[in-house]
Every structure is written in C-alpha cells, then in structure tokens.
Structure 1
Amino acid sequence: MILVILGIVIFFLGLLLSIAWHELGHLSTAKMFGIKVNQYMVGFGRTIFSRKGRETEYGVKAIPFGGYIRMIGMFPPKKDEAYGRTASSSPWRSMVEDARQAVAEEVRPEEAHRQFYQRSPWKRIIVMFAGPFMNLLLAFGIFTGILMGYGLPEPTTTVKSVSECVVSAKAQVEQGECPPGAPKSPAAEAGLRLGDEIVAFNGEPVRSWNQLQTSIRNASGTVSLTVERDGQRRTLTPTLMQSTQPKIGEQDEYVKVGFLGFSPTRHLVQQGFGDVVGRVGEMVGMTAQKIVQLPQRVPGLVGAIAGQEREDDSPMGIVGVSRIGGQVLSYDEASIGARLITMLNLLAAVNLSLFALNMLPILPLDGGHIAGALWESIRRKFARLVRRPDPGPFDTAKLMPLAYGVSLVFIAYSLLVLVADVVNPVTLY
C-alpha cells in the first residue's frame, strides 16, 4: 500500500512539473519578445503559495488541473477606437467587451508598448507554440533516454512459454489450466519446449521474430520446425491450426492465420536516434487520433460510471493516470528499474497528449491563438498584395463566446473522466 501511495504522489508531482514546464515555454518566449507577464501559475482557483519577482508573480493554486501565464494585452482595442471603424454588433457583444475591458484594465500607461497583440504574428505564434513544444521536447527527451540508453524489449526466436492447450483467453484466465477435453496446442503436440531456439521454418533459416511470425501466420497444415536444444538441432513437425487474429498493423481488421501456440522471449535492444524519431512520430500520430476520438468515448465513460466494465484505453485524467503510476510502482513482479522505466514512459505519453491537445486550433487552447495569428498574417499579406489598407490585428476577443463554450465542454468532460477515475478506475494488472 505504501508503494501505491508513493507511486501516486511521485507521478502526480511529475504531472505538475509537466504543467509548469509547459507554462515556462510561454513565459520565457513572452519575456524574450518584451511582453509583460503579470502571473505564472500552476493550477487554478485559490492561490496557496506565490512569490513576487521583479514584475511577475509566481505561484501555485489549489486546483492542480492545469496552469497559465497572464500576459497583458491579449486582445486589441475596439476597431472604432483604434482604427476609426465601427465595431460590429452581435448578441454576444457585452460578453466580448467585458473580456476586452478586463484585459485592458491590466495595462498601465507605461507598459502600453508591451502588449501581446502588438507583437508581429510570427512572434505570437512562437509564444503560443512554446508551451506545447516544451511538452513535446520533454516527451522526446524521456523517450530518447529510455530507447537509446535502456533499450526496447524486442521478441526473439527463443521460446519463453508453450501453450498446453487451445482455449479462449477468458477460459485461461479463469481456470489457469487446461479444461477437460481442450485440444493440445500444435506447439505442445509437436514437443516444443521452453528455451528452444527456432533456427529454421519449413527449411528456411529464421533470422528474426518478425520473419518467423509472418511465416507461421501465412502457413497451414503440417510444417517443419528446426530448433536448437542443448546444443543440438532437432526437427519438429507440428500441424498448425487456423486462428482468427488481428491483421498486423490493422487492429480493427481480422484475418485467418496459422497458429502454433507459443510466446517468444524478449531482450532489450538499444535503439538508434533515427529509430527514436520514427517511434515518437508514430506515437504523436496515434495520440492525435485518440484525441479526435474523445467524443466517441463519452458513452463508455457514462457506462463505466454506471457500473459497466471500463475499457482499457478509456480516457483518464490526472487522478486516473496518477493511480496507474501507483499500480506500476507497486507491481512486485517487475524489477524496480523496470517499474521506474514504465512510469517514465507513462509520463512521456502524458506529455505527448498535452502537446497534441493544446495544438487543436480552437480557443482557449494554444492552437486557437496560433490559428488566429496565422489568419492575421494571411489577411495582412493579402491586403498588401492587392494594395488595400492594413486590416489590423485579428480580434480574438470576438471569439470569446466560442472560447467560453469550449471551456465548458472541457470542464464537463474533465468532470466526467474524474468521476469515472474515482468510481471505476482503469487498472493495469
């Protein structure tokens, strides 16, 4: 129990550091471009600790579900005040102007030249991208250290275990042994043993697990299997069964393949830098895909709260992920080193999620501000091209009703995930 609590605390602190690291990216680049930053905060709600620097207040707040920096001049003034035009009216105008006024009240006369909206679009893009980039950088650093220093477990052609019989996965878990009448697996029937090294399949030399796996899946009927056992080579002749399995690389598509019935041993293989870049790129793509699928997960979360089985890949919040950290650290069937590596992998995956989520092009996320700056740059370049007057800064204040709506959706989703994490958490073991 102590290890569970320690794991939760350690991982929770890692999440807070990830949030602080994210906001540090915004803070450092804003100061680099001369933008006044009033606050740097980790968390929301009531301030439980703060310290005033030369011009920025640094602190921690009570609700540890995010963080922010407060830059002055996030919104430009109304066009009728700054550019001699009439501001358009809308049902949301009071909401927009209230937000604009709240921002304007933070600007003192001597700091009027240090406002965010006054900076060129490319500088604003850098400031807003710097936060998600810090999460990506941290994830890449963790994965690089693990993959290049520790290594990645890769299957070999040596046998780790042999299935004694063929039953459903559920039956194996429930009974732990072969039920009466269950047929022997082809591997057990042929005499394959723990520690056998498979060196040839149907007369073809075996050089890797991927080659062996493909050969088995593509074969049928009786095959020849050459193994090295106790320094001697033996040839076994198992008769493969046909099994319905996911297609390699396509988890949602199933095909009939050959089935032998054994699992390979794994050993750690240190990866090259190119392999790390490729794997991180794949993980970013998969993470983005999972984020796009978040709305589809709502029924599963509601069902989990109602008592249905929680899906293994169900969305989790800070509470759920921290509990996973506790489970990992307390898992006594793995070495302490392996447990720490798993926790680091999990922390890196969370940082990838923070990167991908914040890059969504909607306010109030960082990607929304980036999209606004890009649109402003396009408008201004087009105006110069056709010799029209400068349209001025893009008025993100007009999007505040949308930002409030998105915020409410995120809060509701976060509360849904929080309840699911408390009443029906995801478990690893």
Structure 2
Amino acid sequence: MQLDPSAELKAFREDVRAFFERDYPQDLIEKLRAGMILDRADQVRNQQALQSRGWLAISWPKEHGGPGWDSAHRHVFEEEADRAGVPAIVPMAVIYVGPVIYTFGTEEQKRRWLPAILDSTHFWGQGYSEPEAGSDLASLRMTAERDGDHYVLNGSKIWTSYGHWADWIFCLARTSREARKQDGISFLCAEMSSPGISVHPIVSLDGVHHLNRIDFDNVRVPVSQRIGEEGKGWHYATFLLQGERLSYAHVARKREDVKLLRALAARLPGDDGRTLISTPLTAARIAKCEIDVETLGISVSRALAAGDAVSSAEVSALKIAATQTAQHITELFVELAGRGGAAFADRHRYDWHGTMPMVESFAPPAMAAYLFERAQTIYGGATEVQKNIIWRAIANR
C-alpha cells in the first residue's frame, strides 16, 4: 500500500471527515459514547446515512451498487469512521452475504436481494453454527431435503447475531451425505417469516439480547433461493469467511481505545496515590497495546493491497492478531475500572449512568466489552481452527 498519500486521497479523507462531522447523525455517535445499546431503528439510520453518500457497501464494486474503491480509499474511510466513533454496521448483509450474492448468485437473485440490502429495508441473519457444530462447521446436521421445487429444512442454528432483527437468513444445510463432510452442503436463503421458523433469544451476561437460536421445523424454501450449485455450499462459505475475518481488525477504533486507556490511566489514582500511568507495569502494557495496534494496521494494509491474492493463512493470522489485541485492550479497561466493572447497568436508557453516580461511566461498558470479546476467539472461526489453517499452509509449501 502507498504510505505517502496522494493529493486526491488527502482530499478524500477531508471529505469523509467533514461528512462525519457535519452530515452524519450525531446523536448516534453520542449514544455510543454514552455506552448505550443501539436498537434496529438506530442501525437503519446509521446505514442509511452512509448509503446517502453511497458509502455503505464499501467493498462492493460499482456495478453492484458499491463505490468501487481501491484498498487505499477503503482504509481511509474505515479510519475516519472509527476515529469519529461511528457505529459499526450490522455485517451479515453488507459484508457477509452481499458479496456471495453478487459473485455467485443469479441475475434474479441480485435484483431481488441487493437493493434491499443497500437501502437497509432488509436485514439478514447468518445460519452457520449449530448446537453440535460450532468451530467444526463442516459437521453441521441441519438437513435440506428436496421436494419438487422446494427444499424442506429441519434443524437448528445457534449464536445467530441479530437474528431477531432479520428479514432473511442465509444457511448452510446438508442436501446429501458424502464421504467428505465438507461436501453435500448447500447455501440456502430463507425468509424469516416462513412457517416453521422460530427465534429463541439468548441474553448474554451483560443483559443484552443480540444472540439467538433459530429452529427450523419443516420449513419450505424454494430451490430458486439456493445460491450457486447444490452441494457446493462449503466453497461459498469459505469465500464468505475470508471477508468476514478481515472485517474484525477495526484498527482505527483500537487506536481510539488505546488513547482513552492512556487518558484514563493519567487521571485515575493507583494504590500508592500516584496516577496509574506512573506505574511502570501499566505504562508498559498500554505501550504494548499501542505497538500491537500499529503492527496490526500495517498487516491489514498489506492484506487489503493484495486483494484477491491474499492467502487464507494471512487472513487467519490477521484474525488471531485482531482477536488478541482486542482482548488485551478490554482486559486493561477492566483493570482500570476496578470494582466499578462489577456494576450492572441497563444501558438501553439515556440516563443509565444517573442510577449509579459513584461508578465511573466507562466501567460498565468496559466490562460488557471485555465479556463480549471473550467470544472473538470462537466466532468467525475459532483461534485453534485459524492455527490449523496456518499450519496446513506452511506444511504444503
């Protein structure tokens, strides 16, 4: 990637920064800064504000409704969005299934699904993990039996993020039994309003509902809603996961988090009466986080510049690095929060902090982030799975 930006790229950065400062809904940024939980209506406003400039699907080519940016422009945009504190989009439609649809879908599927993704009238859920097939995704047991022009789906999906918001869900289901467990899996899309689909909330430790179990009981899905060839779903899933794992980096957001860590450590007192930043161990750990974030940023820039040439092993290494860096940052926040991190807050309310004036306002969100980031070593492919991918790449050289 070109490290010395051109005049055009500098002007683009200024344009993006001005948009987030003047034209983007500031109340959404303030909600995040206040540690509040966003609802679906907030996310629709977030995504529609980005799409008002054609900046929602930043990795999509122009012919499918994206801006057609190169890696440098994408990198600048993501940096400015994270710097401004803009909410992350719900990724299942734009980042995950959208590229699968425009790469492998039929023309009718593209016309049907892509516009509704871009204008945020349809949200999507991801039906991958199952109660007995999480990290070992190829062991999934959900079945899709052919019945004329339909498949009949039976089984369960779990850890479905924002499945209760979804209008559609894309699923991996077994359409045949093959000797190799990765074969015989198909990529199917179902309307969440279909008879036989039921959504069961999973409320996490911080009291937030964003996960779900989705049950399928004789759900009929038209064959026309299968993406690509029957039995080739593993190939499409691998394509999707490559993009998903790159999306975890959020380098600029991590930079802002480390800045906040340093500011808090310079203000909060330690046991000896000095500020925490005066403690050599705390200062060293914050400095290590800064180094890790900058190293991650360089690696992500290289991967984006490589485009389709980036290897699965490189993407897996980035996923591990992004996961570990995020977890180290949240661990430090919890240590700075101290006992305040144990306070439970209903962060759906604007005035949640008024109910606990003796607690530092960063503390409950910090604990929630810490608990959430424990799962990053699992979702999107467990760290152990990523290490296996890297090992196979080395062994096959």
Question: Under a length normalisation based on structure 1, what TM-score does the superposition of the two structures give?
Answer: 0.20
Question: Under a length normalisation based on structure 2, what TM-score does the superposition of the two structures give?
Answer: 0.21
Structure with greater proportional strand content: 1
Which one scores higher on RCO, CA 8 angstroms, separation ≥ 6? 1
The structure with more radius of gyration? 1
